[in-house]
Amino acid sequence: MAARLLKRTGVSSEICERLKRQQIESCKDLLSLTTIEVMQAAGLSYQQTSVLLQTVSKAVAPPVTTALDLWKQNSDSCFSTSLPALDKLLRGGLPCGTITEVTGPSGCGKTQMCLMLSVLATMPKSEGGLDRSVIYIDTESAFSAERLVEIAQSRFPDYFSCKERVLQMAGRVHLFRELTCDDVVHRLEKLEEDIISKGAGLIILDSVASVVRKEFDTTLPGILMHRTNLLGHKASILKYLAHQFNIPVILTNQITTHLGDRECASSARADSGYVTAALGNTWSHSVNTRLIVQYVNAHQRQILIAKSSVAPFAVLNYTIKKQGICIDGNDNQETLYEGTDPGLQPIRVRTEFTSSLTGPVD
């Protein structure tokens, strides 16, 4: 909320311009100042400043909503994944207005999932989509337009049999390649405008972990705290955007080695460590829903619901095919598993890689 731009709060454009010249753009920027400082920066009287501060404070104060209001909005509150078994567990799909993280080992299908969801978001509501565009922030240069089109045409052959629709779909996925932490933060800080101008109904950040882990050596003193603050800043912007526009935000995350033994984690264990989601415990609290993808064997993989406010711990087997992620078996398969703290949930990696778990612990 505090990241909201002043010009979206009803403050006149003249005052916004005056404040912007002094680098005061967001509600947080303004509300962090004393009344005197605001008077000077905006060139307003004490009374006018009080009115300005009241307007901005009201804009950032979360509105009171009743459970009844939310219940009535239920049909708009989820984004169907086109995977009925997963949607059923998540009571309709990925929740709008909140952050969903997909975490797992390299090559397990996180980007495939993002591409598949991008296709879906652009499709009409009658076809199960959102009929909106997508903002796709790619920090790993992993986005492939060819694969996006392949997934679209293989998954929905009837709908995408018409070339016009393929072109329209691809034209609605807006790609931003941001390869440093600063670039990602700048992009996120300016995203509100892009969401409005492009009519975005889905934000994807693939991945949140790669640039952060590359740039921050957490073995050095003080760096971990700096990184935690930066991640907190990113999370607060994304939460604000998700909430403000009531859209789903999907992030991907990587894995790390958690040192220490864990009795029930035998399948994911290697020597005295086990594999779990990267970026630590504080970060794991920032995401509302955590889906973990992991290997069963070279071909088969699993998706775990490791954190959700509506679904139990659950596991579904899947295979990656030409048409993207495909859940194996029928929709009524036995799915529950004994989960644990989502920040510590062990993740199964390919066994040939588990013997070299020597990377940084974060």
Ligand X SMILES: Nc1ncnc2c1ncn2[C@@H]1O[C@H](COP(=O)(O)OP(=O)(O)O)[C@@H](O)[C@H]1O
Q: Is 142 in the site for Mg ion (CB under 5 A)?
A: yes
Residue 11, C-beta contacts closer than 8 angstroms, at least 6 positions apart:
52, 55, 56
Q: Is 134 in the site for ligand X (CB under 6 A)?
A: no
Half-sphere exposure in the Cβ direction for 181 (13 Å, CA): 16
Stretch that binds ligand X, among 17-25, 43-51, 103-111, 183-191 (CB under 6 A): 103-111
Residue 346 touches which of Mg ion, ligand X, none (Cβ within 5-8 Å per kind): none
The distance of closest approach from Cβ of residue 275 to Mg ion in the complex, given in angstroms and rounded to an integer, is 17
The distance of closest approach from Cβ of residue 206 to ligand X in the complex, given in angstroms and rounded to an integer, is 7
| Site size for Mg ion (CB under 5 A) | 3
- What number of other Cβ atoms are within 10 A of residue 43's Cβ? 12
Residue 90 touches which of Mg ion, ligand X, none (Cβ within 5-8 Å per kind): none
| Site size for ligand X (CB under 6 A) | 14
Hey, what are 201's tokens? 């109904």
DSSP 159-226: GGGSHHHHHHHHHTEEEEE--SHHHHHHHHHTHHHHHHHHTEEEEEEE-SHHHHHHH--TTSTTHHHH
d(CA 288, CA 242) in angstroms, rounded, equals: 11
The distance of closest approach from Cβ of residue 94 to ligand X in the complex, given in angstroms and rounded to an integer, is 17
Which of 49, 82, 111, 253 binds Mg ion (CB under 5 A)? It is 111
Residue 15 touches which of Mg ion, ligand X, none (Cβ within 5-8 Å per kind): none
Residue 270 touches which of Mg ion, ligand X, none (Cβ within 5-8 Å per kind): none
d(CA 357, CA 362) in angstroms, rounded, equals: 13
Q: What is the CA radius of gyration of the chain?
A: 22
The distance of closest approach from Cβ of residue 212 to ligand X in the complex, given in angstroms and rounded to an integer, is 16
In contact, 150 and 321? CB cutoff 8 Å: no
Q: Is 112 in the site for ligand X (CB under 6 A)?
A: yes
Q: Which of residues 306-325 bind ligand X (CB under 6 A)?
A: 320-322
User: 321: closest CA among 159, 121, 120, 112?
Assistant: 112
301 by DSSP, 3-state: which?
strand
Which of 93, 109, 201, 273 binds ligand X (CB under 6 A)? It is 109
Taking CA atoms, 234 is separated from 59, 81, 248, 286, in Å, by 21, 25, 15, 10
Which of 12, 73, 106, 281 binds ligand X (CB under 6 A)? It is 106
The distance of closest approach from Cβ of residue 31 to ligand X in the complex, given in angstroms and rounded to an integer, is 39
Q: Map tokens 């100042």 to a residue.
A: 33
Enter the DSSP assignment of 98.
Answer: S
Q: Map tokens 């909320």 to a residue.
A: 1
The distance of closest approach from Cβ of residue 209 to ligand X in the complex, given in angstroms and rounded to an integer, is 11
- What number of other Cβ atoms are within 10 A of residue 95's Cβ? 22
Q: Is 119 in the site for ligand X (CB under 6 A)?
A: no
Q: Is 155 in the site for ligand X (CB under 6 A)?
A: no
Residue 109 touches which of ligand X, Mg ion, none (Cβ within 5-8 Å per kind): ligand X
d(CA 250, CA 124) in angstroms, rounded, equals: 20
Which of 7, 110, 155, 213 binds ligand X (CB under 6 A)? It is 110
Residue 112 touches which of ligand X, Mg ion, none (Cβ within 5-8 Å per kind): ligand X
Query: Does residue 308 have a cis bond before it (omega within 30 degrees)?
Result: no
Q: CB-wise, 49 or 252, nearer to ligand X?
A: 252
Residue with the shortest CB distance to Mg ion: 111
The distance of closest approach from Cβ of residue 56 to ligand X in the complex, given in angstroms and rounded to an integer, is 40
The distance of closest approach from Cβ of residue 156 to ligand X in the complex, given in angstroms and rounded to an integer, is 15
Hey, what are 317's tokens? 């087997």
Contact set with Mg ion (CB under 5 A): 110-111, 142
Contact set with ligand X (CB under 6 A): 104, 106-112, 142, 147, 150, 320-322
